[in-house]
A and B are shown apart, each in its own frame.
Chain A
Amino acid sequence: MPRGQSTVGRVMAQVAMVMNLDKCIGCHTCSVTCKQTWTNRTGVEYAWFNNVESKPGIGYPRRYEDQEKWKGGWTLDRRGRLVLRSGGRVRRLLSLFSNPDLPVIEDYYEPVTYDYDNLVGAPAGPDLPVARPRSVLTGRPADITWGANWEDGLGGAPEHAGGDPNLSGEWAEKVRFEFEQTFLFHLPRLCEHCLNPACVSACPSGAMYKRVEDGIVLVDQDRCRGWRMCVTACPYKKVYVNHATGKAEKCTFCFPRIEAGQPTVCSETCVGRLRYLGLLLYDADRVGEAAATPDEQDLLDAQRGVFLDPRDPEVIAAARASGIPEDWLEAARRSPVYDLVARYKVALPLHPEYRTLPMVWYVPPLSPVLDAVTVAGGDQEDPDHVFAAVTRLRIPLEYLASLFTAGDPDVVGGVLMKLTALRSYMRAVSLGEEGNEAALGAVGLDAAEARDLHRLLAVAKYADRYVVPAAHKEDAAALSALESGCPVESAGAPAGGGVALGMPTLRRTPSEGPA
């Protein structure tokens, strides 16, 4: 429907996230604080609701982006209707007891602990005692052969990174893992809290749900029966099985903090200050239509088309009619996420072609391009050199396109052009020179917008980066109606009883957290 003629449908609000990848240094503080908060329990030692990958690389779990293998996300059937790639209801029912598209522990990694007791209890001997690794699954001494961040800093890349599913197509044949051609960036990942979540649709028990109030996707521990269809359906592999309780667990977007108006733990502790949290208003009646957009490369625009301008009087009226409170509308107008995603259009979704309409977006990194400029003998500070690189260098542009634009290099190139023009303009201004406003105009920015975007990307303070309105007391009953107190479980007495997984449980003793 063309805008202007249409009436706005049912308006919903979601707390969404943007990450500015140029700022990520791969310190893993987000992963560690997330783990300490949510998955420092028996049964989920291998699970990282938030992890940071080095790209190019195959990721965690291994090659999770290969949907030919893992069958995650949605696809269109012959009549153009959305269907889960893991199959329709019948196929999923038939594979209920033996789901072939499920990652096994080796695809994540075998979690270990160390014999720390030996450090203080070893008998006197000629050598310093050491703590050797021991599997927390079998209790036996273990060789560490893979991990949640095995490829950090391109470690092992010559052997493994060729298997990165994003390195397909003829351009990828030119990617050689050689010192002079190195490009690297870090990709922090968490649950995308999608508008069209495949995990929710795949759940046979109705245990997974997307909260009406803020769009957070959660697992009801009382209703989960451990079928694990969500694990297959999630193309980002961000639903995990707690193998002590047999139930699914996932990133909660730290909803107890969000409800209190606080940022998620990963955002709060981000050292590089690269995360942004804010509201996006969207037209719930148009989600299905957007997800079923025929051409994968149109999905980005289709998803942006679902987002609503919080300053548009028609949207405000419709939002009020849909019951969105005034302070949320005010927060939506101050949302840094809306600015980056919809106003300046510098943020892009991760793998829009999965058709789940993800709600954690990324400002693509300019640094691999700048590195490529230097390698090619150019000057990073000369915008013409960078523009030329964005136009001509297929690597790493095609790589970024396969991550963020379903393979369309023009869109990701356009964003990088915008960042380059902005960088060049603000550099000139900060040196007391006249900035080149013509170059800014060519990427669709004026001087005031450039300063605003620069402030948001470069120097935004805590209150500018995290605009999270607190939940309303009158919604408290609805917010907690489905929750069994905690969306994750300990091994002791899981809600609604445990689910037997038919897995060997040879663990020695339950280890509550790290030693």
Chain B
Amino acid sequence: MITSYEWSGSETGGRRYSPFVINVEHKKPWHTLTGRQHFFVQHDWMAELGEQLPVYRPPLNVIGHYGDEHLHEDGRAEVTVRYLTPHSKWSIHSNYQDNKYMLDLSRGGPAIWMSTADAERIGVRDNEWVEAYNRNGVVAARAVVTHRMPEGTVYMYHAQDRTVNVPRTEIGGRRGGMHNSLTRLLLKPTHLAGGHAQLTYAFNYYGPTGNQRDEVTVIRRRSQRVEY
């Protein structure tokens, strides 16, 4: 078992993993000042930044900070969208969603889910190859076009295997990345509020939560001839 407070379950005796078993059943206090679960953080910096309670923060204004990231090649249509990397119902992190059967029962490789409107904007049909890129990296994947996605947001399931059906990208010509190729953890001031109970850093960030799952990416249709 990884020694992080986050892994607070018990799998003894083949038990299914469930968080906080150690805290609830073995009465180990939570790593907070009160020893209990709480949403409110009494820390000067958190107060100053207005984050004592959970709050909504929009993604970083990338255009403001980094400028327009579009490549603007030959007037090719591109769209800037929010990029999410949710866990799927078929996997525990990277496990199981890429086994042979689950590949047969999905699109058989990396895929990015996008809305009908965004797909139309860049002229992409269901199952066509697209490339998503930003300052962090580039991903080549099949598009899953569905009305179940809201306009302006795409997602790529967490930790699809980079060794299965990942072609070389048009941009850069190297092997495409996986979901985390487009993300980056940016430090913000609250991350530096260390030495304060649950704000103490440990493996898998036990503190003010990371922001790398709140990215923005550019996405466009690519050549349908892929090379591996």
Contacts and interface: CB of A to CB of B under 8 A. Distances in A.
A129 B174 contact: no
Interface in B142-160: 142, 144-151
Given A131-B163, A132-B165, A514-B100, A144 B146 contact: no
A128 B101 CA distance: 23
Contact of B89 (A27, A145, A156, A157): A27
A515 interface: yes
B213 interface: no
B144 A155 contact: yes
* Secondary structure of the A contact surface, majority rule: loop
B66 to A, nearest CB: 27
23 contacts: A31-B101, A112-B108, A127-B175, A130-B164, A130-B166, A130-B175, A130-B228, A131-B165, A132-B165, A144-B108, A147-B106, A147-B107, A147-B108, A153-B146, A155-B113, A155-B126, A156-B126, A156-B127, A156-B146, A158-B147, A179-B147, A179-B149, A182-B148
B116 interface: yes
Nearest to B148: A154
Contacts of A126: 174
Contact of B148 (A112, A153, A515): A153
Interface string B158-184: 000011111110000011000000000
The 9 closest A-B pairs by CB, nearest first: A514-B100, A156-B126, A144-B108, A127-B175, A155-B144, A149-B105, A177-B147, A132-B228, A159-B126
Given A114-B100, A147-B105, A177-B116, 15 more contacts: A126-B174, A127-B174, A130-B165, A133-B109, A144-B165, A147-B108, A152-B106, A155-B107, A156-B127, A156-B145, A156-B146, A160-B126, A179-B115, A181-B147, A514-B100
A129 B165 CA distance: 10
A373 B105 CA distance: 31
Contacts of B148: 153-154, 157, 179, 182, 184
B90 interface: yes
A132 B228 CA distance: 7
A26 B148 CA distance: 16
Interface residues of A, number: 44
Interface string A397-441: 000000000000000000000000000000000000000000000
A126 B104 CA distance: 29
Contacts of A111: 104
A515 B147 contact: no
A28 interface: yes
A185 to B, nearest CB: 13
B105 A152 contact: yes
Interface of A: 25-28, 31-32, 35-36, 111-114, 119, 126-133, 144-145, 147-150, 152-160, 177-179, 181-182, 184, 514-515
Contacts of B167: 130
A125 to B, nearest CB: 10
A119 B175 CA distance: 14
Given A144-B107, A156-B146, A184-B148, A28 B165 contact: no
Contacts of A27: 89-90
A182 B146 CA distance: 10
